């Protein structure tokens, strides 16, 4: 069987940097417990390994407020500005592992909202990255995920400037579609395409592979936004597209009738898992 592995599969720069930051803190062990505010990435395998080494996950702001010592690592998705302020005020040491591309969006949103712009974030309102971005705005914010929400968007102050940014892992084509809908409303609008180039390249490569293989395997955690979007993109190009978290989720019977298989993976998927799936498919089919 022919197996094609996407070159862009696996950890992106921001995720790799965040995970390495946690392991470096474990090695340094400057005293006191090590926490991450939320899972450092959306991958259960990585979280279990970090937990086995003593890293604890804080889930809520109340958890942060109850701390009196230790180190808090801010995950790659970033956090609202108020979280950083809280940790500073409490004197809790923290390490900011926010992806630099996400941090850039924070700076844009802060600057443009302070200059009076109404911020529009194209993305999933329930995703931690989007919640973090929203928390850097000094004024009104709307979060838009689909065409229906874009059509409903309106300004109370028609003369107000609108600044549009995107969740870094949002589908590029959908972003363009939603921007077009908003632009037609005639507002004074500035559009900043903040989708990560690595995300765009990953999506384009996955779509290309899916269009020429008999089956497509997408590897990633079920909570991973960028992996969900990869699955959606690949499903549109290949009807036999399968979403798995690890090799154990793979149904081998689904691949017996095809001659070629493509493999891609989300930005939070360790290469070890990708390699296991790739080797299994190569050896057994």
Chain segment 204-251, per-residue pLDDT in tens: 999 999 999 999 999 999 888 889 999 999 999 999 999 999 999 999
Structural domain harbouring 278: 2-10+198-284
Instruction: Give residue 218's pLDDT.
Output: 98
Q: Is 25 a catalytic residue?
A: no
For residue 44, the number of C-alpha atoms closer than 13 Å in the C-beta half-sphere is 8
Instruction: Give residue 45's pLDDT.
Output: 85
Residue range 171-179: mean pLDDT, rounded: 94
- Are 154 and 208 in a shared domain? no
Backbone φ and ψ of 74, nearest 5°: -85, 125
- Are 106 and 78 in a shared domain? no
SS3 content of the chain, % helix, strand, coil (to 5): 45, 20, 35
The tally of domains found in the chain comes to: 3
Domain containing 119 — which CATH number? Answer: 3.40.1010.20
Q: SS3 for 137?
A: coil
Residue range 241-269: mean pLDDT, rounded: 93
Residue in 62, 65, 129, 259 annotated catalytic: 129
Domain containing 60 — which CATH number? Answer: 3.40.50.11270
pLDDT bucket at 144, cuts 50 / 70 / 90: very high
What's the longest Cα–Cα distance across the chain?
63
Contacts of 243 (CB under 8 A, 6+ apart): 218, 220, 222, 227, 231
- Are 164 and 217 in a shared domain? no
pLDDT at 95 > cutoff 80: yes
Report how far residue 20's alpha carbon sits from residue 50's, in angstroms, rounded to the nearest whole number.
Answer: 11
pLDDT at 285 > cutoff 90: no
Instruction: Give residue 32's pLDDT.
Output: 86
pLDDT at 274 > cutoff 90: yes
- Are 185 and 207 in a shared domain? no
Q: Out of 195, 222, 247, pick the residue that ends a domain.
A: 195
């Amino acid at each position: 069987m022919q197996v094609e592995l996407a070159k862009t599969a696996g950890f992106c720069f921001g995720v790799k940097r965040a995970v390495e930051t946690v392991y470096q803190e474990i090695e340094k062990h400057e005293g006191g417990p090590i926490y991450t505010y939320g899972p450092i990435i959306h991958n259960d395998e990585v979280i279990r390994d970090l937990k086995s080494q003593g890293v604890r996950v804080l889930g809520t702001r109340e958890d942060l407020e109850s701390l009196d010592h230790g180190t808090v690592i801010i995950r790659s998705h970033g956090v609202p500005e108020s979280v950083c302020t809280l940790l500073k005020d409490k004197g809790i040491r923290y390490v900011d592992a926010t992806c630099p591309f996400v941090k850039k969006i924070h700076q844009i949103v802060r600057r443009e909202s302070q200059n009076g712009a109404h911020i529009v974030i194209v993305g999933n309102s329930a995703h931690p990255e989007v919640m973090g971005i929203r928390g850097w705005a000094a004024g009104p914010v709307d979060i838009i995920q689909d065409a229906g929400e874009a059509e409903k968007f309106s300004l109370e102050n028609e003369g107000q400037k609108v600044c549009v940014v995107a969740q870094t892992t949002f589908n590029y084509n959908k972003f363009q579609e939603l921007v077009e809908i908003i632009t037609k409303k005639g507002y004074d609008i500035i559009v900043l395409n903040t989708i990560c180039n690595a995300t765009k390249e990953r999506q384009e490569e996955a779509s290309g592979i899916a269009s020429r293989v008999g089956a497509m395997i997408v590897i990633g955690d079920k909570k991973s936004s960028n992996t969900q979007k990869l699955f959606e993109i690949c499903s549109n190009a290949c009807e036999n597209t399968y979403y798995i978290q690890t090799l154990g989720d793979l149904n081998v019977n689904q691949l017996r009738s095809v001659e070629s298989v493509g493999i891609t993976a989300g930005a939070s998927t360790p290469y070890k898992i990708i390699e296991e799936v790739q080797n299994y498919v190569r050896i057994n089919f």
